[in-house]
Structure 1
Amino acid sequence: MISKNKITLMQYIFLIHGVQMGVGALTLPRELAEKAGTDGWITIIVCWLLATIASLIIIQIMKRNPDGTILDLLARYFGKWIGKAGTILFALYFALIANVIFIREALFIQAWILPGAEVYMLILLLSVPSYLIVRKNISILGRYAEFVFFMTLWTIIIYLLPLKYASWLHLLPILKEGIEPIISGVNTAVFSFLGFEIAFFLFPFLQKKERASMGIVIANTLSLFAFLAITLAAFSFYSPDEITIYNEPTLEMLKVIELRFIERVEIVFFSFYLFVMSTTVLPYMFMTVYCTSQLAGRHDHRRHLAWFLIIEFVFVVFFPPSFERNTMLKHVSEMAGLLVAFVFPLCLWGYVWLHGIFKRRPIT
């Protein structure tokens, strides 16, 4: 299955970058301003450094088993039952994040575009294209991520337009409150960089594995530039106190753009940004059903995907979501993400490294 579904380096980069962009960019400037003030952009650089280090550790781990995913590596080093337990935990982790982002996407659509629509109807409508894309293999997701990146590249450039109303003095002085606020914002900003952990599953599908490290650094750096551009634009556009008033300041600031042929630019922007959101949620859906299908010993994940989407719909019908409830689940997924993306790779890399040393040591 892996040998038939190879992805190129570009697809590998844009898959990871797409997963990282998600919905975090819409609220990240406000969340950073609440934690670190206008020095929050420095927090983004710190999070990029941490994410890059963790990413490179993941690649070093996967080089020990280049033809299999992390599920195969766990079974190889720890045995069959630990491998199955790891598969269950990864499936739950990916399902949690997919659930949070999928519902949040529907909530944003309801708030900004279709205020009269019910969330369960939006989930139902989003499920159709989601199924059509995710039912295929990973190479299709890679092509989709590549297409969406170039189609929505202009969404970053559009943030240059509101800057004629900006005041760069809002960013000064740098480090006005010291290092502590910057560090306190790491827990908030690091969630936006989550997504590189899918390299645990993408690595065996990559055509040129020797470029995996370079590719994942490029993906993280693309996300860094995007987050920095959006955050610096918002920090300079709003005053330090004003930015905390708006839930999605990156959308609100686009309301000042006036074009003769478009009345509300922010709605057009958000409509295109829905494609960017999909490049986050669809890979997480794929990873979820990939894990469950591996657990069931099946190569075809379409039935598992259908059940996942049905469960999502039923969940929304019986437990109508809100931004407050979704934010609570988001905090849970953030904690889980820190464990899976940062703590787990470090611990596993230490074990694999020690295992290699003791295995090479001659018996006396």
Structure 2
Amino acid sequence: MKIVVLAGGTSTERTVSITSGTGICKALRQKGHQAILVDIFCGIENVDRENPFPSEYDVDAASEYMSAFNDRIEQMKKERRSFFGPNVLKLCEAADIVFLGLHGANGEDGKVQATFDLMGIKYTGTGYLSSALAMDKGITKQMFLMNNVPTPRGVSMVKEEMTTDLKALGMEFPVVVKTCCGGSSVGVYIVNDQAEYEQALKDAYSYENEVVVEEYIKGREFSVAVVDGKAYPIIEIAPLQGFYDYKNKYQAGSTIETCPAEISPELTEKMQHYAEAGAKALFMEGYCRLDFMMKENGDMYCLEANTLPGMTPTSLIPQEAKVLGIDYPTLCEKLIEVSMKKYPAQDFTL
């Protein structure tokens, strides 16, 4: 297949996305596909019109080209009107499918997906509506509650209606303050007193205009991939320090990850059920990953859903797939396969 692996972009997770995209592109080429790595925002200036998907291709060189723009992104955003970089849409239209290796805003929020739907471009992952729902943590919480998926009690606040009085929100310390539409735990703060709470609000609002304040669940952290409606083995994430924030997610050796998680068969079944129910509540198609906290007494809470979770070879979903005997390149192919199901029936072989 001719595949564009789309990565990079303008979000706070740009560098993570480049790492994911590089791994995906290498894996797909290992499987014999004509995959190329493209930065959705920076694009490619010089494209071989006769052969845009060459059989010989240097993925690392493409990754380095993308990374060279990192320090200029903010300036480029000010100078540009269009989000899509040079030749990006033309390459995507020429591909059999686009593998979305994007993370965060303008990647996971449904905007790119809606554009591609209108242009007839096939892509991996869920559609624009479920992407938008899952990106907003306040809406996600409401959808979970409506569908009997346990989730921490909380409220969302826009900056104009912000209150520093936790009691007015019916809550008490400790609480979690997080941006409404952030990702990779950027803009997430666990606060224990009034001073920390006010600082966390200030910091969170520096990212966007809406935040979520929710009760803090003390316990163990887990994550569950849902692929084609079925839960994968549960992975437990045990940070050596603090919680599973941006640093612990992407700095090697910061966490101990155990898959399958060492919990009872009953709790395993329960969490996998809630993962599948959470994905269904948000109308997920293809694949996603849901994050959980579990108290010592076994009470569990679904925190959020990730529509385009990290896909480096050592990311959580590849670790879960490995337990099922699915290696990383095969997983990348499988995610394409399940993503194609959202399109009208047609002859399709990888």
TM-score (norm 1): 0.22
Bigger radius of gyration, 1 or 2? 1
Give the structure with the larger strand fraction.
Answer: 2
Give the structure with the larger helix fraction.
Answer: 1
TM-score (norm 2): 0.22
Where relative contact order (Cα < 8 A, 6+ residues apart) is larger, the structure is 1
